[in-house]
Amino acid sequence: MSENLIVPTMAEMLAQGKQPEVLFWVGCAGSFDDRAKKITKAFVQILNRSNVSFAVLGTEESCTGDPAKRAGNEFLFQMQAMMNIEVLNAYEAKKIVTACPHCFNTLKNEYPELGGKYEVIHHTEFLKSLLDDGRLTIEGGQFKGKRITFHDPCYLGRANNVYEAPRELILKLDAELVEMKRSKANGLCCGAGGAQMFKDAEAGNKEINIERTEDALETKPEIIAAGCPFCNTMMTDGIKNKEKEGDVKVMDIAELIANAQDL
């Protein structure tokens, strides 16, 4: 990292009497997982470069409750939701961006009924709007002509019908976007959703992430693009299992954009 990241918190903003344009919901993976932290930083670099006024909750952020809800623990989910909503509403948050489709889905769809009504967007949609508004410019750079396939996260794609924003960003890199046989609404899960990330799989004859990695490898990609920290982990593990880590990289869309800009 060549530059220092500027990451204001909502508390600091409030102290200065300011309200950021957008609240960046980092999420648990983005905060703690070593691989996902890189995605977080890449996204912040782009935000800094594009002079986006944003802030994070920092230590006031807590799990959205998504994995608890999908595991069936509605109590824990709603406890988390109510606590987070209290914090978000106290800061009068209006617009939230997140790099995790699970946080995105939960904040966007399940919080409103519990009193948390915000405009919630996924970071790929946000990056696309920065491009459209001319606040961010990218040239293909090192990704020009590279074969990139995009793995649709279930909670971004099927769950919320966001298919185009990440693809348009890849095309902006002058890369060759190649689709897997199962993509968009027919995309195959990476195997992490529904709290599977935190447990062993039931007995079967294959791991789901291996099945999905094979889909991706069939397209002979140089890069597998992801839009979810959990998908990223699953696909990275799949690539390692196939001993392809020398040939194929798994990268988040935010990392692609940040690297293209050579930030």
Find the binding residues for other proteins in span 176-205 (CB under 8 A). Answer: 185-186, 188-189, 191-205
Q: Tokens at residue 23, please?
A: 């609240």
* Burial track 237-255 (b if 16+ CB lie within 10 A, e otherwise): bbbeeeebeeebbbbbbbb
Q: Which stretch binds other proteins (CB under 8 A): 54-62, 124-132, 217-225, 247-255?
A: 54-62
Stretch that binds other proteins, among 45-53, 120-128, 150-158, 240-248 (CB under 8 A): 150-158
Q: How far, in Å, CA of 152 to CA of 44, rounded?
A: 22
Sequence-distant (6+) residues with CB within 8 A of 81 are 64, 65, 106, 110, 111, 114, 116
Q: What CA–CA distance (Å, rounded) separates 13 from 53?
A: 10
Closest CB to other proteins among residues 72, 145: 72
Other CB atoms within 10 A of residue 216 CB: 27
Beta-carbon neighbour count of residue 137 at 10 Å?
Answer: 11
198/246 with CB nearer other proteins: 198
- Smallest gap from residue 81 Cβ to other proteins (A): 8
CB of 117 to other proteins, least distance (A): 14
Q: Give whichever of 76 and 178 is closer to other proteins, judged by the CB atom.
A: 76
Q: Which of 14, 19, 31, 94 binds other proteins (CB under 8 A)?
A: 31
- Report, in Å, the least distance between residue 89 CB and other proteins: 13
In the region spanning residues 64 to 123, those forming contacts with other proteins, defined by CB under 8 A, are 65, 67-76, 78-80, 82-83, 105, 108-110, 113-114
